[in-house]
Amino acid sequence: MFNLLKTAVLMAAITALFMAIGALIGGRAGMMVALVIALGMNFFSYWFSDKLVLRMYNAREVDASSAPQFYAMVQELAQKAGLPMPRVYIIDEQAPNAFATGRNPQHAAVAATTGIMRVLSARELRGVMAHELAHVKHRDILISTVSATMAGAISMLANSAMFFGGRDSEGRTTNPIVGLLVMLLAPLAASLIQMAISRAREFEADRGGAEISGDPRALASALEKIHAYARGIPLAAAERHPETAQMMIMNPLRGGGLRGLFSTHPATEERVERLLAMAQ
């Protein structure tokens, strides 16, 4: 129930942001158009955003015959977690990472890169997939997928504010600086909404993943390895679609500055520390 409330608050906050940008672009008429777009995007995000995200990453679905060991690992963990078997995907990327998506446990999918399967031991990979299944069990996946889709849409709408200018409530053209500010600040506001939810969610998924796998040390070791490798190997799809970065087990975006300041992931050191405390 709490996660359903969080989803509703997230959708309401992003819808309000949509309407504010629409009002700046086209006055009252722009606000109403933005409301219709936001409602349509919310509907689309609920039903189809998981397919969109998997397509962004060129994820390919696998089964017991095409990836027997990996599929069997996910199947065993899903049974331990009391979850329906999710769809399983592999992403052909050297950067080590993984994520879960879908609107509920009955329509969930988990994905891992070939890079993470290469650098982690079977025990560590098991901890990572347990973490992703904890997201499914906690029903985080709808929140993360919806916020990723909507944040991308807000960025596009904000860019249009720069090119088409802005109008006040009477329909008069406003200062072009307003359009520039909207283009810069609206995506930042969307990121802040994502960040407010994502950091606490990662800690909970770490805890849940450690409980599902029964091996918090393995997940802690996996996080340390992913952190070390991910800094030097870019994840091209995440760089093209930074709004999806918060879905990953580790932030895949390079660079510091605002990206580091507003990271949707908590510090790896703190995550590892909490997992090792569980192990003791």
pLDDT tens digits for range 145-180:
666 666 666 766 666 665 555 555 455 555 556 556
* 85 closest CA partner among 71, 65, 69: 71
The CA distances from residue 175 to 158, 182, 203, in Å, are: 15, 12, 43
* 21 closest CA partner among 182, 243, 189, 172: 182
DSSP annotation of 264? S
The verdict on whether 132 is a catalytic residue reads yes
Interacting residues of 256 by C-beta distance below 8 A, sequence separation 6+: none
pTM higher than the cut 0.75: yes
The answer to whether 81 and 137 have CB atoms below 8 angstroms apart is yes
Per-residue pLDDT of the chain (280 residues; tens, 9 = 90+): 555 676 667 667 777 777 777 777 777 777 787 778 777 777 777 788 789 899 999 999 999 999 999 999 999 999 999 999 999 999 999 999 999 999 899 999 999 999 999 999 999 999 999 999 999 999 888 777 666 666 666 766 666 665 555 555 455 555 556 556 666 666 666 666 666 666 678 999 999 999 999 999 999 999 999 999 887 888 989 888 887 888 899 988 875 544 454 566 889 999 999 999 999 8
Structure token pair of residue 181? 């500010």
pLDDT one-digit tens code per residue, 195-215: 666 667 899 999 999 999 999
Annotated catalytic residue within 76, 93, 124, 132: 132
Between CA 35 and CA 37 the distance in angstroms is 5
Structure token pair of residue 245? 């970065």
What local confidence, expressed as pLDDT, does residue 194 receive?
61
Domain that holds residue 101: 2-279
Between CA 250 and CA 100 the distance in angstroms is 12
Number of domains into which the chain is organized? 1
The CA distances from residue 48 to 43, 108, 138, in Å, are: 8, 12, 20
